[in-house]
């Protein structure tokens, strides 16, 4: 913060100097003398009119140091100026003065700029000296302006540090930090504006803000991807489409949710790897949450010969699935003929499980194995859509089921694997940065 205010002081100093040295800008609207119609030229001028005009012009020029000694000659209302003056500005000034007098028909400006070193150097040195004196006399005012800006900025920083207040009025820490940043920005800008008002440089504020606006637009276009990601992080922190440890699929990426940060969503893949997805991608992606609903349906297919009885095969398969103790009775398992073309009939089986008691992948695998063995025992050998030629005439022997009848082997275990749960818990416990934006108190949308 001290560095910021030192930069502010360094910026205010040349600003004040520039404000003191800038000349008054001419009005954009023409003067009444410029807009007034030119007077008519009288056919018979008054007696001694030329002498009166010349005398009046010389009297005016004598009061202007740069125009003293300038030659003035008037004949028939035509004013002719001659001599040398310090600069072009004085030449234009002399012509304007002479042209404003009543009775002047036109002005022949024969003035030339003097190239005398002393005559040109003295005004420049006196101007620099005046500016230095003006700046030195304004130093106390500049100090007061800087002090006011520093006090207002420090007040904004102190108010932004009250994180408990902003966390209470906002739904998550990300928004609380955003509000604190906005408060600091408003107070700092307000302090700068007040400081410029104190030193009388508010006329430059419009130009500064205009330049800042153009620069901000250019920067915004350059970092639009970062801005998009920032906005997406804000929306995800408010909407929260998932919870920590939820199993989700974001487009083609699947894993357990570790945390949501201000830049990315971190997943733990089934292989135990960390997958970091930018929040801009997450916000626009199709998200499938497999954990929100504890009940989940699995599906598998079984192909039988074209001449086989599909209804009998469906009945055998459904009876086998219903006999599995991890399969839910409500909703009940169903089966359908998914395809009937070529040399096979494709049966499709559906069943539901409770994911809190049974693992999805294990349950599907055990159900497929049980249905396959049951159908093989009844002569429904799994077929493939391709045409095959058998050179032997012996019927295929049924494949014996693994494990004795009525016994439970290690392969029959369908209990959920809690290894990933423990890994997610350990990862979240080790997060000392406190940057997780997921809040279990907010509803999942």
pLDDT in tens, 346-384: 999 999 999 989 999 999 999 999 999 999 999 888 766
H-helix or E-strand spanning residue 274:
strand 274-278
Give residue 35's Cα distance to chain centre. Answer: 52
Residue 127: the pLDDT is 66
Divide the 445 residues of the chain into consecutive groups of 10 and give the mean pLDDT of each group. 50 49 44 53 72 87 84 87 85 88 86 71 68 78 86 88 75 72 85 81 68 69 72 82 90 91 89 91 91 92 90 94 93 91 88 92 93 92 62 52 43 77 84 67 62
- Asked if residues 254 and 247 have their Cβ atoms less than 8 Å apart, the reply is yes
Residue 367: the pLDDT is 95
Q: Could you tell me which of 81, 79, 80, 82 has the C-alpha nearest to residue 102?
A: 79
Torsion of CA 238, 243, 247, 248, to 10 degrees: 0
Residue 24: the pLDDT is 42
Residue 399: the pLDDT is 46
Q: Is 304 helix (H, G, I), strand (E, B) or coil?
A: strand
| Count of residues making up the chain | 445
pLDDT in tens, 238-268: 888 888 889 999 988 999 999 888 888 999 9
Residue 164: the pLDDT is 77
- Asked if residues 175 and 238 have their Cβ atoms less than 8 Å apart, the reply is yes
Tokens 């907010």 belong to which residue?
A: 442
Residue 267: the pLDDT is 94
Residue 33: the pLDDT is 46
């Amino acid at each position: 913060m001290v560095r910021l205010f030192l930069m502010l002081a360094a910026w205010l100093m040349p600003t004040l100097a520039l404000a003191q040295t800038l000349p008054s800008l001419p009005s954009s609207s023409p003067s009444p003398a410029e807009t007034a119609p030119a007077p008519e030229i009288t056919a018979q001028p008054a007696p001694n009119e030329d002498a009166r005009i010349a005398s009046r012009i010389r009297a005016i020029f004598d009061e202007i140091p740069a125009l003293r000694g300038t030659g003035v000659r008037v004949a028939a209302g035509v004013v002719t100026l001659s001599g040398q003056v310090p600069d072009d500005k004085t030449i234009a000034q002399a012509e304007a003065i002479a042209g404003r007098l009543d009775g002047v028909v036109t002005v022949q400006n024969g003035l030339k700029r003097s190239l005398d070193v002393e005559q040109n150097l003295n005004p420049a040195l006196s101007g620099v000296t005046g500016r230095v004196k003006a700046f030195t006399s304004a130093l106390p005012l500049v100090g007061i302006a800087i002090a006011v800006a520093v006090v207002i900025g420090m007040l904004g920083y102190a108010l932004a540090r009250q994180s408990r207040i902003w966390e209470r009025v906002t739904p998550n820490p990300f928004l609380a930090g955003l509000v604190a940043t906005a408060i600091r920005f408003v107070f700092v800008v307000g302090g700068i504006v007040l400081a410029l008002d104190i030193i009388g440089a508010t006329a430059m504020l419009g130009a500064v803000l205009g330049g800042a606006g153009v620069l901000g637009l250019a920067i915004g276009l350059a970092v639009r991807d970062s801005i998009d990601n920032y906005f997406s992080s804000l929306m995800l922190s408010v909407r929260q489409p998932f919870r920590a440890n939820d199993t989700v699929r974001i487009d083609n990426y699947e894993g357990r949710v570790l945390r949501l940060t201000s830049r990315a969503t971190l997943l733990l893949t089934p292989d135990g790897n960390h997958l970091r997805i930018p929040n801009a991608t997450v916000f626009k992606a199709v998200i499938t949450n497999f954990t929100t609903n504890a009940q989940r349906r699995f599906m598998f297919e079984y192909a039988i010969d074209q001449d086989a009885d599909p209804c009998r095969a469906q009945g055998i398969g459904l009876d086998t699935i219903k006999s599995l103790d991890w399969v839910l009775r409500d909703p009940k398992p169903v089966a359908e003929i998914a395809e009937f073309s070529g040399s096979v009939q494709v049966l499709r089986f559906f069943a539901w499980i409770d994911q809190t008691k049974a693992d999805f992948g294990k349950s599907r695998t055990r159900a497929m194995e049980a249905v396959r063995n049951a159908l093989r025992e009844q002569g429904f050998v799994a077929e493939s859509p391709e045409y095959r030629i058998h050179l032997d005439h012996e019927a295929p022997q049924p494949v014996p089921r693994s494990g004795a009848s009525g016994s439970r082997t290690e392969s029959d275990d369908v209990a959920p694997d809690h290894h990933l749960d423990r890994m997610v818990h350990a990862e979240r416990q080790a997060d000392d940065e406190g940057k997780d934006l997921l809040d279990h108190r907010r509803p999942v949308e």
